[in-house]
Amino acid sequence: MGKVWPNEAVYPDFLNPKTSAYWGSQLDGFQSTIKFDGLWQDMNEASNFCNGVCSKDQDKAGYSIANKLPYTPTGKRLETKAIALDAQHADGSTELDSHSLFGSL
């Protein structure tokens, strides 16, 4: 769970095959109601108004991956306005390893 407009949000895990099947069926149903040629994807990543976790209840990792990284590009915190790097996807990968895939999946 994260926070965006207007408040709490959950994110589809496109690394889970069930997610793609679900969104495909939703788009098929929408296409049968209103014909469209394409979709505008407003967000190319799962943004978050929190920095990593939004509450202590979400902090399951204890000692975050972010604290274990030997190097971070630009030296800035990678969880700034993003999902926690420790978030686990259906395929077992972490958000650290799959963050940039969100927009292309």
Number of domains present in the structure of the chain: 1
pLDDT score of 24: 92
Residue 98 domain flag: yes
35 confidence band (pLDDT: 50, 70, 90): very high
Residue 36 domain flag: no
Q: Are 97 and 66 in contact (CB under 8 A)?
A: no
pLDDT at position 90 over 80: yes
Residue 47 domain flag: yes
CA distance 89 to 86: 9
CA distance 39 to 80: 28
CA distance 4 to 10: 9
The domain containing residue 79 runs over which residues? 2-27+42-104
Torsion of CA 3, 98, 68, 51, to 10 degrees: -10
Residue 97 domain flag: yes
pTM over 0.95: no
pLDDT score of 92: 94
Residue 32 domain flag: no
